[in-house]
Structures are given as C-alpha cells and as structure tokens.
Amino acid sequence: MSWFKRDKPAEEKLPKLGNGERRVRTEGLWQKCGGCRQIIWKKDLESNWNVCPKCGAHSSIDALTRLKLLLDRGYRQFDTGLRSSDPLGFVDKKPYKDRLRDMEQSTGLPDAIVTAEGCIEGRTVQICSMEPKFIGGSMGCVVGEKIARAIERAIERRQPLVIVSASGGARMQEGAVSLMQMAKISAALMRLDEVRLPYISVLTDPTTGGVTASYAMLGDLNIAEPGALIGFAGPRVIEQTIRQKLPEGFQRSEFLLAHGMLDAVVPRLELKAYLARALEFLGG
C-alpha cells in the first residue's frame, strides 16, 4: 500500500513498552492508536483491517476477520464442535470450565482457533487462524487437535497449509497436555514436509512461548506482520532473569528479520497478495 510506504516505518513510532504490548483503548467510536497515539475514528481503523491509517501500526484482528482478509469469498470451517475436557480440573481465579464458557460467550468461538478450507486468489488451502482474545490465544489441546487435523487434511487433499499465529504460548490451565501439543503438531508438520506440501507460517502480534517453539517457526516460509512481538521467552521474564533493560525493538518482527529468523515482514494489507505469490512459487 503506497500510503504505508510513504509514511515513516511503523516501528519508529511505536512506543517503547517494557511489557511488549501495544493496546488500543476502546472508547466508543474513537480509538487511540497504540502506535502514533492519535485519536482515530474507529470505522476508519476497522475498514483498514485495524492498521492505523496515520502511522501504519498494526493492532490485532480476530480470527474470523483474518479469514475474511485472506480468503476469497466463501470458505468452510472444520471441527467447530471440539472443546477441551479440562484434563487437570484446573481452578485459578475461577474454574477453567467456567473460563472456557465465558470466553466462548465473549468471542463467539469455542477455543482459540478457527480452521478452514478456502481459497487465496483461487488457490485452495487449509488455513488455521488463531484468536488472540481467547485466553490470550493460548494453545491447549483443542488448538493442538484442530491444527493436527488441518495438517492431515492438507496431506489427504494435497493442499498447502497456512497458519496465522497470535498466541501467548501453551495454555497453563491444561498443564503438560498443552505442552505435548507442541510435539504433536510438530510431528504432523514433519509428515507434511515429507510429502513436500508448502506450509507458510504467519506470525502476528503476539507470537510467543510454546507456539514460537513449535509450529510458528517451522514454516517453509516464516513471515510476520510489522511490529509484532515474537519470541520464546516473554520480555518480562527475560528482564527479570538478566536484570537489565531490553534493547529497543527487541523481539519485534524487524529485530527477528535482522537476526535471520524471518523470511519477510509483510504489512497486513499486502499479506494476501504475498501469500498468493509465495504459494504459486512453492507450487502448492
């Protein structure tokens, strides 16, 4: 998008926040951009897929909006009925079962992911889109199972795979069951790799912990949206461990690109066209 390139790069204007979060406050029809701090009419932001029209800062979009952004009209969801059976019987401030129910009410989704088959500029793909608002987009066994099934469908139907990550990592409330989803999904990706089908991993803000340490970093191409927090350990944990301030821009997309960890940083509004070109190249 030309306006985006004309403007200063988004990362220069991003605030330096220790906790690595850029939040946009919701106050009726107007919203303050986390990047430039300007007040933006919410409709302008939404019609621009939550990319600030003034500075280009990317704020989160939900899992279904993401599918709308990337897929041609009409797609089919899978495994919409899968729900966690609360393997630990976990209770923190409230029982995990209640938390799941409340999250389902507030997000309209049964867990932190939507999986679907759809077309990107005419090319059929299996796509997984994470929901950052569902317990921080955390990965429990439903996320693990839905991704594993999406990979198996990709293999069966000889289609490419796209996973859009937005996740704080493995879900604490499912304990080691969550942890093992990392191995389960990575093993499924080994099978996808064996049959030479393309997998493009799209990392969005935030992608950390067990998601970074499994499928998000295993793409044939790993690409990220600008300014996304991406890392294994969270910035707060690192600061506490090393007892020093983190360098500016640490664990942002551009930092990872500079350190050789990403293939490209792609603005949201160019993402669909990029995926279409890449999938064509990879021949999926």
Partner 1 sequence: MEPEVNPDAPAEGAAAAPAPEAHPAWCRVQLARHPKRPHAVDYIQALFTDFDEIHGDRVFGDDAAIIAGMARFEGRPVMVVAEEKGRDTKQRLHRNFGMPKPEGYRKALRAMQLASKFGRPVITFLDTQGAYPGIDAEERGQGEAIARNLREMARLAVPVICVVIGEGGSGGALGVGVGNTVLMLENAIYSVISPESCSTIIYRDRAKAEQAAAALRLTAEDLLALGLIDTIVPEPPGGAQEDPAAAAENLRQHLRACLDQLSAFGPDHLVEHRYVKFRKMGNFFA
Judged by beta carbon, residue 32 or residue 191, the one nearer Zn ion is: 32
Judged by beta carbon, residue 55 or residue 150, the one nearer Zn ion is: 55
Q: Which residue has the tokens 């569902």?
A: 134
**Rounded CA gap, 231 and 213, in Å?**
8
Q: Which of 1, 190, 264, 273 binds partner 1 (CB under 8 A)?
A: 190
**Rounded CA gap, 56 and 181, in Å?**
34
The sign of the torsion formed by the CA atoms of 117, 120, 217, 1 equals: negative
Q: Which of 184, 84, 179 is nearest to 134 (CA)?
A: 84
**Contact code string over 96-135 relative to partner 1, x by CB under 8 A:** ----------------------------------------
In degrees rounded to 5, what are phi and psi of residue 137? 65, 20
- The partner in contact with residue 55, picked from Zn ion, partner 1, none with C-beta cut-offs of 5 to 8 angstroms by kind, is Zn ion
Among the residue ranges 31-39, 60-68, 129-137, 273-281, the one whose residues contact Zn ion (CB under 5 A): 31-39
**Residues between 264 and 283 that touch Zn ion (CB under 5 A):** none
CB 33 within 8 A of CB 50: no
- The partner in contact with residue 33, picked from partner 1, Zn ion, none with C-beta cut-offs of 5 to 8 angstroms by kind, is Zn ion
Using CB under 5 A as the binding rule, whether residue 36 contacts Zn ion is answered as: yes
The CA-atom distances, in angstroms, between 131 and each of 151, 188, 197, 259 are: 19, 21, 25, 27
**Residues between 223 and 242 that touch partner 1 (CB under 8 A):** 230-234, 237-238, 241-242
Judged by beta carbon, residue 45 or residue 142, the one nearer partner 1 is: 142
Q: How far is the CB of 218 from partner 1 (least distance, A)?
A: 5
Q: Which of 117, 131, 145, 254 binds partner 1 (CB under 8 A)?
A: 145
Q: How far is the CB of 67 from partner 1 (least distance, A)?
A: 21
By the 10 Å C-beta count (0-12 exposed, 13-18 middle, 19+ buried), 194 is classed as exposed
